[in-house]
Structure 1
Amino acid sequence: MHLRGKRVLITGGSSGIGFGVARALLRAGARVVVTGRRADRLDAAVDALRPDGDVTAVVADVGTDDGRKRTLANAIDALGGLDILVNNAGGVRAGRLEQVEADDLRAMLEIDLVAPILLTRDAMPALRASGEAMIVNISSVIALVGIPFYATYAAAKAGLAQFSEALRRELNGEGIHVLTVYPAGTDTPMMQTNEAGADLGFGREPVEDVAAAIVAGIAEDALSVVRGQESRAEMLRLNRDDPAAVDARFFGIKHELETAVRGHRAL
């Protein structure tokens, strides 16, 4: 896909991966609308992004019906249509299942799974009108290797990944491609309350590297983008071939991991 002139909507674009993808797409010549729940953060993001190109902000919560409606209406009005939808907005709450509040569990499912499905459905008419469109769903490597104390987050992100794969096949040959992205630990505000380091499997990649890989995947019409260093790739292979070995590896660090991530909350 040629990116110059493409009309892009990015949810959760005020910081982190969404902001990085917005900047990279603007520099490639795309026109971008970013969304978020906090006006102050969006204003700061737009001020930072404006030197790179044509960017507009929509203050809305895509976890609500009204927020999704306003997001799409304002984005399509600003852009004159829609070519690329990036479902990036997300939230996380780590901890033992029985210790996580029900409201936090529901919030993860709503923002990480239900919201992108419904927003994608509502965006389909505009994407079909494009003639060359793409849906980019930001999942997580936790969808590929379940990590203790992230059970519900893993469920939501794995659900999003399977939604992506099934939808890609559903839309094959109809002018809309679907790309699934699996970021590993990334140096974003969402990770600030996670105290686990590389020794516990939570290394941090720079946002710029992850964003560059995503934009390259868009340009190449890739099926997926999987991030993480070689240690992560090795764990993916091991989880496929010998999942009991991965169980044993996590068992050996379970106490340390629980202590490090139990305060991880970004909802």
Structure 2
Amino acid sequence: MEINQKRVLITGGSSGIGLALAHTLGAAGAHIAITGRRSAVLDDAIKQLAAAGILASPIVADVATEFGRKATIDGALASLGGLDVLVNNAGGVRAGRLEDTTEAEIRAMIDVDLLAPILLTQAALPKLRESDDGLVVNIASGIALIGMPFYSTYAAVKAGLSRFGEALRRELAGEGVHVMTVYPGATDTPMMQTSHAGPDLGFVREPAAAVAEATLEGIRANAFEVIRGGEARAKMIALNRDDPGALDSRFADLKSRLAEAVRDHSAL
């Protein structure tokens, strides 16, 4: 897909990967609308984009709610005049032991990371079909490909989003709407501020702009997926498939340090 002049809706676009995508896709000529729950943060993002010469429309909405999803679609159509690309980027995380995770935190991850993208995509599909060159981009996580200890629920919902995208891509094949899934690794975003896991534990953070640029490349190539992490991630994925016990042993050696590093990791 050529992104120039495409009408793009990015959920969770006021910071992190979402804001980086707004910069990257906007600079490539797309018309942008971004959502966020906090109006002040959203306004600041719009100013940052404007300073870079990118005009974007703000939509204050919580996509985890029915009202917020309706406001998101209505706001995008009002500002963009239609829809060519939906980027399901809004997400939340709560790490730590499953026994220490509250039901409310588990439900919040399910609602925002899995249920919201499914229902928002469902609502957007009629307009994406009208485009006849539509695209859904789901921002999953590398943890969807390799389950990390202390991220059990997050791994579950992101893996669910991954399989949702794969199944929907096949469902929509030949119907004018493509689906692509992005698997970022550790990324330097506000979501990661409360995590103290560093390179020694396998969390080498890359700039959000690098994820956004790779996503744009994937869009232009009509890719099925974009996996960040390079050769090291590819080797881990292969090892997880061929000899998962070896990864079990590797994580066991890191377990106590990892538990301490991520026990306060929360962004919901």
- The CA distance in 2 between the partners of 1:109 and 1:32, in whole Å, is 27
- Count matched residues: 267
Aligned to 1:95: 96
Match of 2:252, SS? Answer: helix
Counterpart mapping for 1:101-250 below 5 A: 101-250=102-251
Gaps of 5+ in 2: none
Q: Return the offset for 1:122.
A: 0.4
In the other structure, the counterpart of 1:49 is: 49
Distance in 2 between the 1:124 and 1:193 partners? 35
Amino acid at match of 2:109: M
Q: Which moved more, 1:223-232 or 1:108-117?
A: 223-232
> Amino acid of the residue matched to residue 174 of structure 1?
E
Amino acid at match of 2:143: I
Q: CA deviation at 1:229?
A: 3.7
1:9 aligns with 2:9: yes
Say whether the 8 Å CA contact 1:23–1:52 is kept in structure 2: no
Q: Report how far residue 54 of structure 1 moved.
A: 2.7
Cα deviation per residue 1:122-159 (whole Å; 9 max; x = unaligned)?
A: 00111011110000000001000000000000000000
Q: Quote the Cα distance in structure 1 between the aligned partners of 2:258 and 2:232.
A: 17
User: TM-score of the superposition, structure 1-length normalised?
Assistant: 0.99
2-side partners of 1:250 and 1:175: how far apart? 43
In the aligned structure 2, how far is the partner of 1:160 from the partner of 1:108? 12
CA contact (8 A) 1:180 1:223 kept: yes
Structure 1, unmatched stretches of 5+, are none
How far is 1:199 from its partner?
A: 1.1
Conservation of the 8 A alpha-carbon contact between 2:46 and 2:55: no
Partner in structure 1 of residue 40 of structure 2:
40
Q: Which TM-score applies when normalising by structure 2?
A: 0.98
Give the match for residue 22 of structure 1: 22
Q: Tell me, yes or no, if the aligned pair for 1:8 and 1:30 is still in contact at 8 Å.
A: yes
Match of 1:76 in 2: 77
CA offsets per residue over residues 143-186 of structure 1, 9 Å max, x none? 00000000000000000000000000000000000000000000
Give the AA of the match of 1:160: L
Root mean square deviation of aligned Cα = 0.7
Paired residues of 1:11 and 1:36 also in contact (CA < 8 A) = yes
Rounded Cα–Cα distance in structure 2 between residues aligned with 1:138 and 1:154: 13
Is the contact made by 1:62 and 1:115 (CA closer than 8 Å) also made in structure 2? yes
Structure 1 CA distance for aligned equivalents of residues 237 and 194 of structure 2: 25
